Structure 1
């Protein structure tokens, strides 16, 4: 009986491990697509200004490394103004409280963009224990596959998320360049 119980226990553990295995290569490719989506969105906001000769874009490929994702190449965007540059750079996919982070830095500081649940208004962090005692926690979140969008995060400690649109992006850009 003892060996049968051990074998059954180990078989269940092996199945559970295989079921919970994360495809990190797929996560990396998804992250690179999310970065591209972000850049496409903000370029659509800025293209009218670029066409008027008020700013220009410059791209640089940068090597990034994240635990689990490994090394990958991402794009860094420079938005060039007549007297300064703003740098927009991906920070990472594996961020606590978000599905990704991109920072925009200018001479007056930086703004954080987070990839979060479309319905989120502020960070919500939940801890799940995988010990069989917390089965009820899975019922807390009804949405199994939330839609993720880029939002502007206000500075801590009372972080709020601001929907990313042409006006909110323009305000954020002004914040890092104008005094």
Structure 2
């Protein structure tokens, strides 16, 4: 009797629409393509200086390890300007508040580049708190992000995002090389 009752119960349940499964390989591929886009933009910003022989760009790889992916190889970039070396080092893609982060490290500091929704100007993190005796509610799902963009993140605690263009990139580069 219990098996039959259970089968009747299961068969009477409405079918739930299949949720989009989290695809680690797809996320990792998007992350690596976003890194390539960032580095292509950097090459473009520096191309006049590279043509003059005043800047050298070296590509390399770094091994990252994230919980969702395990170890993997990601591209990094080094920029040489006279005696100064600046490195663009990927941090990861499975982060809170961003789809990815790259740190640009120089002798006088670090600038953080974050991959965030194109229309964002600051982090958007929502926290819900409820007591055990509160009625259950459906968690609010954020709207899907249709377009991601690299931005410069200011220092905490009041993080803001700045668009990356040739001027903002060169200002950031000068800041970590020259102070």
Root mean square deviation, CA, Å:
2.5
TM-score normalised over the length of structure 1? 0.85
Q: Unaligned 5+ residue runs, structure 1?
A: none
Query: Could you say if the C-alpha distance between residues 2 and 91 of structure 1 is closer, same or farther in structure 2, counting changes exceeding 3 Å?
Result: same
TM-score normalised over the length of structure 2? 0.85
Provide the residue aligned with 2:58 in structure 1: 58
- The structure richer in helix per residue is 1
Superimposed CA distance per residue, residues 58-86 of structure 1 (whole angstroms, 9 cap, x where no aligned partner)? 12222111111222111111101111100
Q: Following TM superposition, by how much is the alpha carbon of 1:7 offset from its aligned partner in structure 2, in angstroms?
A: 3.4
Superimposed CA distance per residue, residues 99-147 of structure 1 (whole angstroms, 9 cap, x where no aligned partner)? 1000000011100000011110100112479x97125x24xx5x53331
Rg comparison, structure with higher value: 2
Provide the residue aligned with 1:133 in structure 2: 137
Q: How does 1:1-179 map to 2 (within 5 A)?
A: 2-4=5-7, 7=10, 19-127=19-127, 133-134=137-138, 137-138=140-141, 141=142, 143-179=143-179
| Residues 27 and 69, structure 1, Cα contact 8 Å, conserved in 2 | no
Q: Following TM superposition, by how much is the alpha carbon of 1:4 offset from its aligned partner in structure 2, in angstroms?
A: 3.1
